[in-house]
Structure 1
Amino acid sequence: MSSTPESTADHYQRIRQDPRFIALVRSRSRTSWRLTLLVLATYFLFMGVAAIRPDLLHLPLYPGSHLSLGLPLGALLILITWLLTGWYVHRANTHYDRLGQRIIEESQA
């Protein structure tokens, strides 16, 4: 493929008009937004409980415990966020990137 500006622009235009590319962008965007909303909802829920009912987070884990319920819940929130991020990175590297590369290769032919 030559590298003239016209051919490059045509190449990008073919990729952007490819129905598979459009579906890929929509799928990736939908997944990103869903994960974003899920993480934000869990953080806001935690902060809402901390603001409205802090006594719930001060409850001991078990009778006689010096650890409150808020500590493992906060750690769980961080862990869930970390795991969701790892899942998305894995999904992007194994699924979205592979589909994008295939679309680019086929558009060059």
Structure 2
Amino acid sequence: MDDKQVERILQNPKFKEMVSKKSTLSWTLTAIMLFVYVGFMLLVGYNKEFLHSSLSGGVTTWGIPLGLSIIVLSFLLCGVYSYIANNKLDQLNEDAMREVEAIAHEKGQN
């Protein structure tokens, strides 16, 4: 594949759309996770009394379910990414790959 073909692939609208959507999805989910995690760490650092307080008058404190919810959230976000990637991004990827293969086969025609 020569430089001209690579440039045509990079300028392909379907390829650009696929890259853009993948990037937006990845950064959005990353921002959500970072926001939640940093928020929890700030809570640990600046409001320990809240985390030490009892959830329902028993021995379970607020820190335990909050910490577990962060773990659950990470699994949910992975599921969200997988669902969107499998149902939306894969079709864009296939369309882009068809066009990329067509560009690659045109090598001798240009």
Same fold by TM-score, threshold 0.5 exceeded?
A: yes
Give the residue type in structure 2 aligned to 1:15: I
SS of the residue corresponding to residue 39 of structure 1 reads: helix
Correspondent of 1:37 among 31, 34, 37? 31
Correspondent of 2:91 among 86, 98, 104? 98
The residue number in structure 2 matching 1:28 is 22
TM-score normalised by structure 1 residue count: 0.82
> Deviations 1:27-68 (Å, cap 9, x if unpaired)?
1111111111110110010010011011101111112x1111
Give the residue type in structure 2 aligned to 1:34: T
Check whether the contact 1:15–1:104 (CA below 8 A) recurs between aligned residues: no
1:95–1:11: structure 2 CA closer, same or farther, 3 Å change rule? farther
Check whether the contact 2:9–2:100 (CA below 8 A) recurs between aligned residues: yes
CA distance in 1, matches of 2:64, 2:90: 37
CA distance in 2, matches of 1:69, 1:31: 31
Q: Is it true that 1:50 corresponds to 2:34 in the alignment?
A: no
Count of residue correspondences: 102
Unaligned runs of at least 5 residues, structure 2? 103-110
> Deviations 1:50-95 (Å, cap 9, x if unpaired)?
11011101111112x1111110111011101110111102211221
The percent identity for this pair of structures is 32
- The root-mean-square deviation of aligned C-alpha atoms, in Å, is 1.6
Q: Is it true that 1:76 corresponds to 2:69 in the alignment?
A: yes
1:69–1:38: structure 2 CA closer, same or farther, 3 Å change rule? same
Q: What is the CA-CA distance between 1:12 and the residue it aligns to?
A: 3.9
